[in-house]
Chains A and B, each alone.
Chain A
Amino acid sequence: MIQVNARVKRILVPVVSVLAGFLIGAIIMLIWSYNPLTAYGSMFTSALGNMNGLGETLREATPLIFTAIGFAIASAAGFFNIGLPGQAQAGWLTSIWIVLANPTMPKAILLPLAVIAGAVSGAIVAGIAGVLRAYFGTNEVITTIMLNYIVLYSCQYLMQKVMSDHLRIDTDTTKTISRNGSLHLDWLSNVFGSSRISAGIFLAIIAALIYWFLMRKTTLGFEIKAVGLNPDASRYAGISTKKNIIVSMLLSGGFAGLGGVVLGLGTYQNYFTQTTSLDIGWDGLSVALLGSSTAGGIVLAAFLFSILKIGGLGMQTIAGVPYEIVSIVIAAIIFFVAINYIIGKLFKTKANSALSTSSSVKVNKADGSISGKEPQ
């Protein structure tokens, strides 16, 4: 058992998880006679070694930052939002549709409108689960999963039956959006070796700052945290738990919706029919966990995820390692993050706290008095 303080522990746990993930990947590569050093080398060089690769990595990270923030806000309020894929998808289709439907609108109005509409549509989807939970106590895990399917097939319906022909190429693909509604920036793309990086990355950084400010400085963030940590005590202190569940869910869905917006207006420049829930939703969940739900942690974790995803392609072409290995590394990392409870046990925090309220009452009673002084 290694003794560290709580802050160091918060950083150590994800770092150890990541290293363990890489280690497992290396072992698997060795078993199938690939050289892990060459493989990981090519992974990092292709993701970071040239401007195009770096640009693509940042592009990949952009929506993940949004969806991870979405997950983190909900989980701060004690809410497990796994409807991020649906919320992001709603944001994606909405923003693309608005841009396509308003070809003559000036950019200064159209772009903000499309971005906001995307966020709002994500918020509405999540808000449904929030209202159900606040007023009927419905389990949000079930409602958000189901909403993923509802959004997935509603989007198909909208594409095939509702969207007018002049906005789409065929029933599965929309036309490419005009420059007026695009987040694409020529100069930025040129700096990064004509990669698909867009202004979305700036929005993502701003979003991370807003998230930090919200949770650390505002009464709203304070209430969300309070409700998440102890809904009973919050209610007793006059904080409306209903309001905070709904507000946090709206914010969560809003950020997830923005993840879809930057995917559409930034990366793809159109919408095309999805057959499964969006990856950025699921990955955002992992990124938030890996980043310990802190703003800085989320940005770093999103970047790491993107290195794996973009570098994994390079690993395949340069080192000849199948992409599946990369998937295993990613899966292993997520696995270790998910069991960080166990990894956390490797590092005993100093100044044991009574927070670890567990069944072993006797032991905790003794622990509780370590740092607290007794009244005289």
Chain B
Amino acid sequence: MTQKVIEMKQIVKDFSGFKANNGINLDLQKGEILALLGENGAGKSTLMSILSGLLEPTSGEIFVKGKKVNITGPQVAKKLGIGMVHQHFMLAESFTVLENIILGYETTKGIAIDFKKARQQVLALANNYGLSIDPDQKVSEITVAQQQRVEILKVLYRGADILIFDEPTAVLTPQEITEFIKIIRGLANEGKSIILITHKLEEIRAVADRVTIIRAGKSVGSFEVGKVSDDKMAELMVGRKIEMKLTKPAAQLGRPILTVKDLQVKRKNGSLAVNNLSFTIHAGEILGIAGIDGNGQDELVEALTGLRKINGGKAVIKKLVINSMSTREITQFGVAHIPADRQKYGLILPLSLADNIALQEYYQRPFSKLGIINFKQIYNHAKKLMKKFDIRAASANLPAGELSGGNQQKAIIARELDRDSDLIIAFQPTRGLDVGAIEYIHKQLLAQRAKGKAILLVSYELDEIMQLSDRILVLHNGQESGEVKPETTSETELGLLMTGIKKAGVKE
């Protein structure tokens, strides 16, 4: 007889008129892994915030292990055994693994922390659940996957038996994901109950027992994972049919647009972030750059867009060496740049949507003459692009920060693609977006490819790289560890190249 450890009934959360949750039902059985699937803004985070005591529901009932409860604060949730592993780890970097785990829950001996006892407890937990860690390493020195294990141990150490994971695999490599899946399977086998918030259908398939799908604040269905198709899940999540596979015609290669030769770019501390990198992108081609975060991607993109000094080698766009050109000169010459972090680098959130759309062109006619801006033109231009690129906002005068992530990204796409540049540099163009928005942006990029644009796609999402690229260049430690074709490679091979374990000869 399975026991329901959590039952949420008709949960409503009303933010002064906007119902983020509008009658959600969810139940979690003991020892199962339940995937919570939904678009951004569908209400997943709100629901989980309610469960972990950060928000209180406007109405609805919550039962934990059969008893009706009011989760009035995080402490209450903790007492009930509910623990959350956040997407952005909340660790003190300069503390050791052990210190981080016991932080706030130190076992003491007199007034001193009893590290000996704490270490025993933590190691016992780690052994029990197969979470290998070194308790004495500093968090700043361990990998992201290890940091995640520390987060999990932190939650377990606090006595949680209901664990919520918020998009846990977003930061992991394919090999690490496999490892992670093993870990949470193990947790479930030990009797822990798990809620997994995710966007990724394949992960749900790989690990979850059941899936609950929510859309626009309502639960639209719960299924056993074995009895529902991917198409059905995607359709329920978005509310319409989604093309899971993009149709990508064969590339029509034109002249070379971007040629990078022996490129060297230094980090602030003087070490080489990009080390003798060479590649060419032709018109009508998408070159994907795969790699684990921090292997030179940021520096490469910044160097190609004039944001960072090129320390050696050269970058040539259409026969023009851009080594010493400013960002503005480069973008004017024909480079569109979709930056990795839309809120930090792509948009000025307090400025209006219209101003943001004009951010690359405000100083040119017809948007300004003799240094005086014609805001009417900027507004009209924005209106036009909102229609063309399906940016949904109540008004072009709305601050960009009030738009949803998908619409913010569309605003950047509109601004960059409408300028008709020959080279498009897209860095993590779909980060954190939901299936519908991802589909839209992928289609836009393929349309640009069909128009004969050269596209440099840098992404940590292997799916994205595999689906869109004509060629894939793998970066490891700022060097090329291999160039592969999406048709002939596998995620395993890419993973090995990304971690530098395998080095492939440059094919073709």
A→B interface (CB under 8 Å): 217-220, 222, 225-226, 229-230, 232-240, 351-355, 357, 360-363, 365-376
User: Which residue from B360, B372, B394, B406 sits with its C-beta under 8 Å from A219?
Assistant: B372
Interface centre among A217, A219, A236, A353 (most CB of B within 10 A): A236
Could you tell me the distance between the alpha carbons of A217 and B368 in the complex, rounded to whole angstroms?
A: 9
The answer on a CB contact under 8 Å between A375 and B437 is yes
* With known contacts A217-B372, A355-B402, A235–B307 Cβ distance under 8 A: yes
The answer on a CB contact under 8 Å between B216 and A371 is no
The answer on a CB contact under 8 Å between A374 and B39 is yes
The answer on a CB contact under 8 Å between B359 and A226 is yes
**Chain B residues near A237 (CB-CB < 8 A):** 327, 331, 359-360
The answer on a CB contact under 8 Å between A368 and B404 is yes
Q: Is the interface of A mostly helix, strand, loop or mixed?
A: helix
User: Which residue from B15, B339, B373, B437 sits with its C-beta under 8 Å from A370?
Assistant: B15
* With known contacts A218-B372, A219-B362, A226-B348, A371–B398 Cβ distance under 8 A: yes
**Chain B residues near A361 (CB-CB < 8 A):** 88
A–B pairs, 11, beta carbons within 8 Å: A219-B371, A226-B359, A233-B359, A353-B402, A362-B46, A366-B13, A366-B43, A366-B49, A368-B404, A369-B20, A372-B393
Contact with A along B296-307 (1 / 0, CB 8 A): 000000000111
Which residue on chain B has the smallest CB distance to residue A226? Answer: B348
The answer on a CB contact under 8 Å between A373 and B349 is no
Given known contacts A236-B307, A368-B41, A372-B393, what 13 new A-B pairs fall within 8 Å (CB)? A233-B348, A236-B346, A237-B359, A357-B343, A357-B349, A362-B54, A366-B55, A369-B404, A370-B18, A371-B402, A373-B407, A374-B406, A376-B240
From residue A358, how far is it (CB to closest CB) to chain B in Å?
12
Could you tell me the distance between the alpha carbons of A220 and B372 in the complex, rounded to whole angstroms?
A: 8
**Chain A residues near B345 (CB-CB < 8 A):** 232-233, 236
Could you tell me the distance between the alpha carbons of A375 and B57 in the complex, rounded to whole angstroms?
A: 25
Could you tell me the distance between the alpha carbons of A369 and B216 in the complex, rounded to whole angstroms?
A: 10
8 pairs of A and B residues whose beta carbons are closest in the complex = A238-B328, A375-B406, A372-B404, A369-B41, A373-B392, A362-B49, A355-B401, A370-B18
From residue B410, how far is it (CB to closest CB) to chain A in Å?
7
Is B351 on the interface with A (CB-CB < 8 A)? yes
Which residue on chain B has the smallest CB distance to residue A227? Answer: B348
From residue A373, how far is it (CB to closest CB) to chain B in Å?
4
The answer on a CB contact under 8 Å between A362 and B55 is yes
Could you tell me the distance between the alpha carbons of A271 and B430 in the complex, rounded to whole angstroms?
A: 63
From residue B416, how far is it (CB to closest CB) to chain A in Å?
10
Could you tell me the distance between the alpha carbons of A232 and B328 in the complex, rounded to whole angstroms?
A: 14
The answer on a CB contact under 8 Å between B40 and A230 is no
Is B387 on the interface with A (CB-CB < 8 A)? no
**Chain A residues near B401 (CB-CB < 8 A):** 353-355, 357, 368
The answer on a CB contact under 8 Å between B55 and A372 is no
The answer on a CB contact under 8 Å between A365 and B346 is no
B window 1-52: CB within 8 A of A: 13, 15-18, 20, 39-43, 45-46, 48-49
From residue B137, how far is it (CB to closest CB) to chain A in Å?
26
Contact-residue size bin, chain B (C-beta under 8 Å from the other chain)? 35 or more
User: Which residue from B332, B368, B399, B407 sits with its C-beta under 8 Å from A353?
Assistant: B399
B window 332-375: CB within 8 A of A: 332, 337, 339, 343-351, 355, 359-360, 362-363, 368, 371-373, 375
Could you tell me the distance between the alpha carbons of A222 and B363 in the complex, rounded to whole angstroms?
A: 9
Is B130 on the interface with A (CB-CB < 8 A)? no
User: Which residue from A225, A234, A368 sits with its C-beta under 8 Å from B402?
Assistant: A368
Could you tell me the distance between the alpha carbons of A230 and B343 in the complex, rounded to whole angstroms?
A: 9
The answer on a CB contact under 8 Å between B371 and A367 is no
**Chain A residues near B39 (CB-CB < 8 A):** 374
User: Which residue from A352, A354, A375 sits with its C-beta under 8 Å from B390?
Assistant: A375
The answer on a CB contact under 8 Å between B360 and A238 is yes
From residue A80, how far is it (CB to closest CB) to chain B in Å?
18
Could you tell me the distance between the alpha carbons of A371 and B17 in the complex, rounded to whole angstroms?
A: 11
Is B239 on the interface with A (CB-CB < 8 A)? yes
User: Which residue from A238, A368, A375 sits with its C-beta under 8 Å from B436?
Assistant: A375
Which residue on chain A has the smallest CB distance to residue B329? Answer: A238
The answer on a CB contact under 8 Å between B402 and A376 is no
The answer on a CB contact under 8 Å between A355 and B350 is yes
Could you tell me the distance between the alpha carbons of A233 and B351 in the complex, rounded to whole angstroms?
A: 12
Could you tell me the distance between the alpha carbons of A372 and B411 in the complex, rounded to whole angstroms?
A: 13
**Chain A residues near B375 (CB-CB < 8 A):** 217
Is B208 on the interface with A (CB-CB < 8 A)? no
**Chain A residues near B170 (CB-CB < 8 A):** none
Is B480 on the interface with A (CB-CB < 8 A)? no
**Chain B residues near A355 (CB-CB < 8 A):** 349-350, 399, 401-402
Is B326 on the interface with A (CB-CB < 8 A)? yes
The answer on a CB contact under 8 Å between B41 and A238 is no
* With known contacts A355-B350, A373-B404, A362–B45 Cβ distance under 8 A: yes
Could you tell me the distance between the alpha carbons of A118 and B332 in the complex, rounded to whole angstroms?
A: 39
**Chain B residues near A352 (CB-CB < 8 A):** 15-16
The answer on a CB contact under 8 Å between B239 and A229 is no
The answer on a CB contact under 8 Å between B436 and A365 is no
User: Which residue from A366, A372, A376 sits with its C-beta under 8 Å from B15?
Assistant: A366
From residue A245, how far is it (CB to closest CB) to chain B in Å?
16
**Chain B residues near A375 (CB-CB < 8 A):** 390, 392, 404, 406-407, 410, 434, 436-437, 440
**Chain A residues near B54 (CB-CB < 8 A):** 360, 362-363
